[in-house]
Structure 1
Amino acid sequence: HAAKPRARISLLCHSYGSVVCARAARGLEAEDIVLYGSPGTGYDDAGQLHTRASVWAGRGRGDWIGGVPHVRVPLLVTTVGFGTDPVSRRFGARIFDAGDAGHSDYLKPGSAALASMSRIVEGRHV
């Protein structure tokens, strides 16, 4: 914002990076937080991120991460799992089309996922 005060800031968070972004969300001056190929965030719903940013989630039909159980289970002195699936209605994120993307395909030129995320970052929401 110092260099360009009207610049849009978006956080793009892939896979385990979704957990990192969710923990950092509070207080960030981002317009959008985009979770893709996510195993979860460690939170039950998008409201728990305590952010003014729009929270988006997408997962490609070819992404193996969809088969990972979306649970959070207390185990002795820690917790196993990352909780609610970000693309589930229960989580409450805005869903974007990620097409047929596999786990490493979201940013491939010409992909539906890249087109959707580009529109979000530009402020032309899908």
Structure 2
Amino acid sequence: MPLNRWDPSNALARLQEDMAGAAHHAHGASVHTATDGDDLLITVEGIDASAVDVQVSGGRLTIKGQSGGSTSQSRDVAGGHYSSSSSSSSSFSRSFSVPGDVEQSDVSTEPTANGVKVRIRNAA
């Protein structure tokens, strides 16, 4: 294997690319609320819909979930082969006040393209 002279400019450029990629994938969940007739809708974007837990207890609705992902890439630059990988994981928990007569059976969830929508019947 031939020796290559270390070039700080190329090393810095690769580091900046890797950091930009990691920043792109590290994000938090966002929450939007709306009403649909008498129903309250809570949409949480940026979490895995299959890992969401929604509980109602004592006038509180709690939504818990996780988000995360991983990326990897490799490239050949100036005769050298470079590969990088990154992963991120974060947890999400948010509680909301709901009317005291709301029960678990009044709550339904449905996955969306990038999160989950929670519907609470007769809570608006």
Q: What TM-score does the superposition give when structure 1 sets the normalisation length?
A: 0.25
Higher strand share: 2
Q: What TM-score does the superposition give when structure 2 sets the normalisation length?
A: 0.26
Which of the pair has the greater relative contact order for Cα pairs under 8 Å at 6+ separation? 2
